[in-house]
Structure 1
Amino acid sequence: MEKFPSTTDGTGQVPQVPQKLHITEVPTTIHNWHKKLNWLGIILTVLIPLYGMIEASRTPLRYETAIWSIIYYFCTGTGITAGYHRLWSHRSYNASVPLKVYLALVGAGAGEGSVRWWAKNHRAHHRHTDTDKDPYSVNKGLAYSHMGWLVNKQNPKRIGQTEITDLRNDAVVMWQHQNYVILMLCMVLLLPTAVSGLGWNDWKGGFVYAGILRMFFVHQATFCVNSLAHWLGDQPYEDRDSPRDHLVTALIALGEGYHNFHHEFPSDYRNAVRWFQYDPTKWLIWTWCQLGLASDLKRFPSDEIQKCQILQQQKHLDQEKEKHNWGRPIAELPAIEWDEYTQAKSQGRLLVVVAGVVHDVTQFIDEHPGGRQLLASGIGKDATEMFYGGVYNHSRAAHIRLEELRVAVIRGGCEVEVRKKVHNDQGL
């Protein structure tokens, strides 16, 4: 007997062990559909909020609880925007340890996963925007980018890989990641409930409104950045990918709605560069800097930002320009000799040369604003000086009209006629 089982298939070759397919790669059937759902995501984003809405229908909303819910909404919301997003995902500024701890705690109160998990996915989103490696690509549908990616299981092998060494080396990030479940329960439910209960004896109101429903609204605001910000608005900096700028998304997501700017300049601590644009997260980070809690606020040079805008505007202008007839491109025109051009007049062809380009004015001569006779005086000659101010300094519209009439170029350029005259004068 063999002491150990053979590792070959009898031919000396090690047999290939078939890899187990991920559930997302298996066809959906009546027996496995439930295995394709991310039940943790469903519980957090669908079932618990649904329960909160049912309880809200039979729980009076007290004034104090409403105020507290709004305050805690901004605290946990900026935990995501200023903490998870701009600090840890993009390193757009440095934060002191106390500020990091605060952001890690209120970020946990948003109920959107740990910093490490959230930032890893977000970096993949930026690196692989609108591709299959984008965890919440809008190309898979608006609903998918909003919540579908959370309620359905994803194949981790298909999500783009990103570098997160800095996150692993951050003590606050790893502390939060390792203790996330207990921190989430405390910050999502226990803290808002305790504040309402101990503060004005509204335990249930705090649990329902400041806890569950407040988390639901923070979720939806964040999800809008993944979906709405890739669907609604303008693209003033770049239009190769889907991110867009829009005030509505900015109002919903605490300033994160200027998403076209953000994807073009991701390490800028701002999402909005104009003073009047709504970006409370930017103002909050700036305030922390004044208080000594934050430092090294990164800003892209305004000149680089303006260059991107100019190039994008030029791209739109070029696209509009292509919709119009600008005449046959000079590079595609046939080249003719000067003698061929001058002989065309005797053949009854109405040709005029301006700057070395031959134009057929047959259909235009009777429409010429200066009269037929003036235009006819340039036929068979070099009318460059006449066109460029010798007789009349023609308008831009005239230049455009002239481009539509070009039919050939003079081989050697207009200087041919001048050169021939000089040679004749010199007896050459």
Structure 2
Amino acid sequence: MAFWKSTRALLGRVRWFSLIILISTPALSLYGLRTTPLRVQTLLWVNVFAALTFTALSHVPGITAGYHRLWSHRSYKASRPLQYLLILMGASAVQGSVYWWARGHRSHHRYTDTPLDPYNAKRGLLYSHIGWMLVRPAVRPGHADVSDLRNNDIVQWQHRWYFAIIAVVGFGLPVAVAGLGWGDWAGGFYYAAMMRITLAHHVSGSVDFSDRDAHYLGETPFDDRKSAKDHFISALLTMGEGYHNFHHQFPMDYRNATKWYQYDPTKWFIAACAALGLASHLRTFPENEISKSELTMELKKFKKVQDDIRWPPGLEELPVVSWETFQRQAEERPLVIVSGFIHDVGEFVERHPGGEKLLLKKVGKDATAAFCGGVYDHSNAAHNLLAMMRVGILLGGVEHVKTVSPGETLRIVERMF
């Protein structure tokens, strides 16, 4: 009884329209490959349509520049003609209306990696890639403010007529071009429509690929506390959306990548629209804050390296001894003073580059002047190595208070509040 009850509950959460689309499009694509020859004209049309898919006038900028950066994050303002273009091309990806899509995406950003995140990466790659489209989450996604979308007449027009729109731009247009152009209705259906939508869902990278799968692959140059990552391959497949760690840190920036060599054609598309007067108010995050986040992660990496290195004993670990005690102990072992610290150079005498005698002459004496340029201006490596030989602090010595080895000078310390 409990089994059937849980089964009925699960079936009640299935998104049946999405399930039909996600099963039928690849199945029909495979059937078309087996039964319908690919004509030259259709191949050219598919290539043109695919080129449009990865460049300006297709569903990819419709999703990346429209659904994602314009309506989900309000990273710029678009003119009405551009909004209509983006909303139609976005609909051709068959990923839901802007209103539905952006609401989920805002919730994802607000509640990343929690049960309230509708694409929660912690539920596994399969779920975050496509499972969320097939099954409604058991926990209602966290609240997101969509009042701006509710008041946008273009967004509401698409939401109201969504199924009719996708029938035209998602299925009808690619089939009609091939059918009316050279009589290949079947090829247009199987290749330009079904196969294109299949690729759009799984490869071409609408933000769905980037925003979910980019939580698994790549690096975290800005913040490693969340799962979002930067990955060049994802960026190639997703019109630049693969720089996801940056995006989660600076979501209202119209760019997903700031370096000139990083692949982000959606950014270039938006900038081109701005140059043509179709877009305005392009938002960017202060470069100082971006650099600060990058430096934070670099310091964190260096901190891990630093923690694996053995460092000289701290002041609190060393005994404080008088000059007389130092003199007496120096008769028993080779001790020298440099900058107020007492060093035992016994194991280093034979390896001293200047020779044993030069070093032994300073035993029982203050060698600060000689070590720091009076005889030879020693290198950073020499200062670091000498610091590892510390065994005490000279009572009344003042130099040691301000003198640390070069390695310690830049040592990263975690501040505890």
Fold conserved (TM > 0.5)? yes
1:374 to 355, 358, 361: 358
1:412 deviates by 4.7
Taking the TM superposition and a 5 Å limit, the aligned residue runs for 1:195-210 are 195-210=177-192
Gaps spanning 5+ residues in structure 2: where? 401-417
Aligned to 2:74: 91
Equivalent pair of 2:32/2:191 in contact (CA under 8 Å) = no
Residue 70 of structure 1, CA deviation:
1.4
When residues 202 and 238 of structure 1 are mapped into structure 2, their CA distance, relative to the original with a 3 A threshold, is same
**Aligned partner of 1:310 among 295, 317, 330:** 295
- Structure 1 pair 39/405, CA: closer, same or farther in 2 (3 Å)? farther
Report the more deviating stretch, 34-43 or 392-401. 34-43
Q: Is the 8 A contact 1:68 1:210 kept in 2?
A: no
Identity across the alignment (%): 44
Residues 175 and 188 in structure 2, CA contact (< 8 A), matched pair in contact too: yes
Q: In the aligned structure 2, how far is the partner of 1:362 from the partner of 1:340?
A: 20
Deviation track 1:365-384 (CA, whole Å, cap 9, x = no partner) reads 23222223332333333332
TM-score by length of 1: 0.82
Aligned residue number for residue 153 of structure 2? 171
Aligned to 1:408: 392
Indicate if the aligned counterparts of 2:330 and 2:363 stay in contact, CA closer than 8 A.
no
Give matches, 1:294-333, under 5 Å: 294-328=279-313, 330-333=314-317
CA contact (8 A) 1:382 1:414 kept: no
Give the AA of the match of 2:186: K
Report the alpha carbon displacement of residue 63 of structure 1 after superposing the two structures with TM.
3.0
CA drift at 1:80: 0.3
Structure 1 counterpart of 2:299, one-letter code: Q
How many equivalent pairs are there?
390
Out of 16, 27, 37, which is 1:39 matched to? 16
Change (3 A) 1:236 1:42: same
Indicate if the aligned counterparts of 1:238 and 1:264 stay in contact, CA closer than 8 A: yes
Q: 3-state SS of the aligned residue for 1:230?
A: coil
Counterpart of 1:110 in 2: which secondary structure?
A: coil
Q: 1:96 to 1:401 in 2, by over 3 A?
A: same
Match in the other structure for 2:45 = 65
Q: Deviations over 1:312-354 (max 9, x none)?
A: 22222221122221222x2542341334652453561433332
Q: Distance in 2 between matches of 1:210 and 1:373?
A: 85
| Further displaced range: 190-199 or 78-87 | 190-199
Matched, 1:133 2:119: no
Alignment of 1:360-371 (within 5 A): 360-371=344-355
SS in 2 for 1:86: helix
Matches within 5 A, 1:179-190: 179-190=161-172
SS of the equivalent of 1:55 reads: helix
Contact 1:65 1:205 in 2 (8 A): no
What SS does the corresponding residue of 2:200 show, helix, strand or coil?
helix
CA deviation after TM superposition for structure 1 residue 103, in Å: 1.0
Unaligned runs of 5+ in 1: 1-24, 417-428
Cα 1:79/1:391, change in 2 over 3 Å: same
Q: What SS is found at the alignment partner of 1:129?
A: coil
* Aligned amino acid, residue 339 of structure 2: A
Corresponding residue of 1:285: 270
**Matched position secondary structure for 2:245:** helix
Counterpart check, 1:392 vs 2:369? no
1:50 is matched with which residue: 27, 30, 40? Answer: 27
Which amino acid counterpart does residue 111 of structure 1 have in structure 2? V
Could you list the per-position Cα deviations for residues 17-47 of structure 1 after superposition, in whole angstroms to 9, with x for gaps in the alignment? xxxxxxxx99996666544543333222223
RMSD of aligned Cα (Å): 2.7
Q: Tell me the CA shift for residue 111 of structure 1.
A: 0.7
Q: CA deviation at 1:106?
A: 1.2
| Residues 331-350 of structure 1: pairs in structure 2 closer than 5 A | 331-339=315-323, 341-345=325-329, 348-350=332-334
Cα separation, partners in 2 of 1:122 and 1:407, compared to 1, 3 Å: farther
Q: What amino acid does structure 2 have at the position aligned with 1:293? A: L
- Hey, what does 1:101 align to over in structure 2? 84
Counterpart of 1:354, as a letter, is: V
Asked whether the 8 Å contact 2:323–2:395 carries over to 1, the reply is: no
Alpha carbons 1:357, 1:408 under 8 Å: kept: yes
Alignment partners' CA distance in 1, 2:278 and 2:111: 33
Question: Following the alignment from structure 1 to structure 2, what is the Cα–Cα distance between the partners of residues 341 and 44?
Answer: 86
TM-score, structure 2 normalization: 0.84
User: C-alpha distance in 2, partners of 1:385/1:175?
Assistant: 82
Distance 1:382 1:99 in 2: 77
Contact preservation (8 Å) 2:64, 2:239? yes
Contact preservation (8 Å) 1:95, 1:294: yes
**Is residue 267–residue 298 contact of structure 1 (8 Å, CA) maintained in 2?**
yes
